[in-house]
Structure 1
């Protein structure tokens, strides 16, 4: 199965991973939470977490861990890992030395845009003969299935590597506390019912995971997978069944 779950470290990981029938999981970290039987995928979130490769023994096989390592989280974002392309490339051999399959850094910006952070990184990786085994993608936009799938296809066409969609969700970035999102949970469900089968049918898409926030979140709440008590929303029930 391709379907996964990404989550924060709030102590509910095992319940949530099981609830949505995820085949894999990650938490922007390198430490496996207890009580989960499906493979865990570690991530080097940023340069400050590079020492976790040694701390968690990622240079060898670790029980419960998939033999994969995800690259930096949104290095082009000032509020995320915030890494220059030059620094990202300089430290990439440390990730490569683990021998794990390596996912590219997942950028906040469009990976196919002219002179994008990822295009610069991938060009330098090629020049230096560094290994990147698949492309990691983040996507947040209105729930337009045709647009989403076209963007995923365009990323594959550009980089010609397998794709992991490590965060995605419909979003309304114009919503505020006083101007509710114009989309509903049914819009999210309709989107999900179209794109999940389409992702499953694309051989180049190896894995994906819906990104959930709380139901109260003004931008993504309509697409949340879980209620505050941990039970599945209607969107979550749909994800679990796909």
Structure 2
């Protein structure tokens, strides 16, 4: 009887382990995955599996729908890419569907409305305010935390910090639980850190860095990551961050997956925390 009881207990424990979400390595809980919904005709979610049992705790794909199956046990953060109809027409239903399938606690507003091309949505401040109030702000009443539009680190009057200051001043009655920064430059950790400090000093809110990376030919991305990850993890006002991006190295760009697409790049291993 004792032997039978032990076997039954072991079987129950094994079944529980199989049904449980993936475990994560200990870390700050800030590290996220930015992966493309589609990448060269393939579902970008396929590469998230390489981050199982890593320090990654959340993910997003610049939209509110994931093609394919993403890694389990990781929070998903929907994003309204722009005010165009292809983004807004299914927004509410897509967010509702995502909440049925994934843990969803936060919402991201427009992607680089201060930029034309390069993934930017190019939305003037006045139009962005109207769309944010219509599509994003109502989700605050559902208990979701709301992020600002993600802006570039461009220094012109109509870009970056300047754009976001104008947007937030005009968005009367809007709830912003955190502000969102993007940064690209040389592999100079001090420049990156200095910019984020200025970003935080300007808005005095928690900061998410949902895109950052080293421009092609401007330094060692892996060494850069090793230099900045301790700052990101230890700085209280940095709430989350995501390196660009979980996809295969291509066209001289250093991403988190190797060029063959069958495992992590050296930068990916550093980012995963293995």
**Shorter-chain TM-score category?**
0.7 to 0.9
CA distance in 2, matches of 1:54, 1:61: 11
Q: Which runs of 4+ in 1 moved over 6 A?
A: none
* Aligned alpha-carbon RMSD (Å): 2.3
Q: How many residues align?
A: 225
Residue 3 of structure 1: aligned partner: 31
Give the structure with the higher percent helix.
2
Deviation per CA, 1:39-72: give whole Å up to 9, x if none.
Answer: 1110001112123332224499534132211000
Q: After the TM superposition, which residues 220-231 of structure 1 pair with which residues of structure 2 at under 5 Å, given as runs?
A: 221=253, 223-227=254-258, 228-231=260-263
Deviation per CA, 1:108-132: give whole Å up to 9, x if none.
Answer: 243x76562112101112xx12111
TM-score when scaled to structure 2? 0.75
| Matched residue SS, 2:76 | coil
Question: Equivalent of 1:106, from 118, 126, 150?
Answer: 150
Residue 154 of structure 1: aligned partner: 198
Larger Rg: 2
Contact 2:62 2:81 in 1 (8 A): yes
* Structure 2 runs not aligned, ≥5 long: 1-28
* Range moving further from structure 2, 66-75 or 205-214: 205-214
* Shift in CA distance, 83/217, structure 1 to aligned 2, threshold 3 Å: same
Q: After the TM superposition, which residues 181-196 of structure 1 pair with which residues of structure 2 at under 5 Å, given as runs?
A: 181=217, 183=219, 187-196=220-229
| Matched residue SS, 2:79 | coil
Residue 81 of structure 2: aligned partner: 45
Residue 201 of structure 1: aligned partner: 234
Deviation per CA, 1:5-38: give whole Å up to 9, x if none.
Answer: 1111233144144275411100011124525221
Q: After the TM superposition, which residues 3-152 of structure 1 pair with which residues of structure 2 at under 5 Å, given as runs?
A: 3-9=31-37, 10-11=42-43, 12-18=46-52, 21-32=55-66, 33-35=68-70, 36-48=72-84, 49-58=87-96, 61-79=99-117, 80-93=120-133, 94-99=135-140, 100-110=144-154, 114=157, 116-125=162-171, 128-152=172-196
* Shift in CA distance, 182/194, structure 1 to aligned 2, threshold 3 Å: closer
* Structure 1 runs not aligned, ≥5 long: 173-180
Shift of 1:3: 0.4
